Each structure stands twice: as C-alpha cells, then as structure tokens.
Amino acid sequence: MTNNSSARESMLTAMFGLSGRAAIVTGASSGLGLGFARTLAGAGATVYAAARRLDRLHALGDEVPGIVPVQCDITDDSDRKALVDECYNRSGRLDILVNNAGKPGPPQAEQETAEGFNSILEVNLVAGFHLATYAAGRLAEGEQASYINISSVIGLVSTAPIGGASYAASKAGTLGLTRELAGQWGRRGIRVNAVVPGWFDTEMTDGLFSNDKSAGWVRRNTMLGRGGTDGEINGAVLFLASDASIYMTGQTLVVDGGWTAR
C-alpha cells in the first residue's frame, strides 16, 4: 500500500468509521432497519438491535459481529427506557440513535378509526420522540450524538392511492420533530437529521413490487425508473451517523430515486 492510499484510507476511516461508538436501531429485525444495523456494525459500532422478534435479532447477531439483540416493544414506555438503559449499562454511552421502527395504516381515510390512527402515530412518531428524549437525558456535558429519524416520501408528498392518512401524518410529523429537536439540542452537541426513503421492497411494502400494476406505477414515477434495492439507503444513514456529516443538523436527506423531484 502506498503512502497516498494509506493516507486516503485513514481519512475515510476518520470520516465514516464508528469504532468505539454505540448505536440503537429500532425495527432492526427486518427491512431497512436490518440493513441499518448491519451497516453501522460493519463500520465498527456496537449496535443494540431492537425489535419484538427476538429470534430474528439473534440470527442477525450470529451473522454480524457487534450486534446486541434487545427485545423491545417501542410502544411500551418501560421497554423504551429499558432499551436506552441497556445500551448505557453495557457500553456506557449512546452515540447514535436510529428511529426506524414503523408500521403502515389503511390507505383510505374512511377506513381509519380513532384507535387505529393513534396506534400508527404511537409507533411511527411518539415512540421515537420519547426514545430521543431518554437518550438526550443521559448524554453527559461535552459528549456528542447523532439521532436519525426515518421518515418517508409519504411525509413529503401525497402518494394516493397508496399511503394513508395516519401514515402520512406520522411521517410528516417526524420531519417537523426532527427540525425542532435539532434546534433545541444543537448547542448540546446532539445532531438530529431525517432520512426519507422512497419505494423499497420490504415487509412494509409487501405486494407493491410483486403486482405488475403497482410496480409499474413506481417505475413510471421514479426518475431512475425503478424502486430501491437492498442496501441502497444504508450509506445515507452511515453518513448521518458518522463524522462525515458533523456540520449537519435539522436536515432531511431524501433517498427516493427522484420520486419527489418530479
């Protein structure tokens, strides 16, 4: 290895490396959260992978060094507190929080019930807020952290007939929450940013890409002419988690193949 290539590698490691850091990723048992957990662990972080399906988390931990499985129902406030406590008790720190867990609601507004609407907001918006406040409350003076909220293109634009009122409200609320927390916590050393995924083939979008009509709708309305594939959003989360984005806060990073730029 030449001196120049060694220097470049050292520079990239300094920018994107997460060695010695601790992260929480919610909704880590499948879909985008699974990829986020793998990516952060691959960059050197100890990742507390949280979800309800513990068997899947253990399988991930067996596959990827640096993964700590934590069974957690993020709608349960005691579970949320216990998740943050677990990270601090084992690692003594929490540098990165990825609020990824979420669930969809019914596509038609008339199908929404008051209970169902509140349930979607609890998972997609309220839980992430409380996790962030618990994490911020444990951060010592002089320490820095990066909190990343996963929103959706449905929080930016209408995607009717796919989407849903409760889901859109929760994901738009996530963007507003991101800006407000960034403003309140910036001088404490806490950066808060959001990632907005477009259409990715995950459990959340089950059936979207297997149906010719809906898959064609995605292709026609996405500038790159296709949906996102496994791993294509992970770099955005690594960027925001690492020192490569050290001067960014309150921002929304859209990874949608050009869907919202039309």
223 and 238 together in one domain: no
151 and 30 together in one domain: yes
28 and 85 together in one domain: yes
What pLDDT digit, counting tens, does each position of 195-217 carry?
999 999 877 766 677 778 878 88
169 and 215 together in one domain: no
107 and 227 together in one domain: no
212 and 121 together in one domain: no
DSSP, collapsed to helix, strand or coil, labels residue 71 as strand
142 and 177 together in one domain: yes
Amino acid type, 151: S
Residue 261 located in a structural domain: no
* Whole-number average pLDDT of the chain: 93
| DSSP designation for 125 | I
Residue 262 located in a structural domain: no
The total domain count for the chain is 2
Q: Which of 48, 88, 167, 247 is catalytic?
A: 167
Torsion-angle region of 198 (φ positive above 0: left; ψ -120 to 50: alpha; else: beta): beta
What does the pLDDT read at residue 1?
Answer: 56
74 and 149 together in one domain: yes
Distance (Å, whole) CA 140 – CA 237: 24
Residue 260 located in a structural domain: no
48 is catalytic: no
108 and 160 together in one domain: yes
Rg of the chain in Å (alpha carbons): 18
- The full length of the chain comes to 262
Distance (Å, whole) CA 158 – CA 164: 9
106 and 223 together in one domain: no
Q: Are 259 and 199 spatial neighbours (Cβ–Cβ below 8 Å)?
A: yes
Residue-wise over 31-42: b if at least 16 C-beta within 10 A, else e? Answer: bbbbbbbbbbbe
Tokens of 136: 């911020």
Distance (Å, whole) CA 210 – CA 82: 38
Helices then strands, counting H and E runs in the chain, come out as 9, 7
The reported pTM is 0.93
What pLDDT digit, counting tens, does each position of 125-181 carry?
999 999 999 999 999 999 999 999 999 999 999 988 887 999 999 999 999 999 999
What pLDDT digit, counting tens, does each position of 17-74 carry?
999 999 999 999 999 999 999 999 999 999 999 999 999 999 999 999 999 999 999 9
Domain that holds residue 215: 205-231
CATH of residue 85's domain is 3.40.50.720
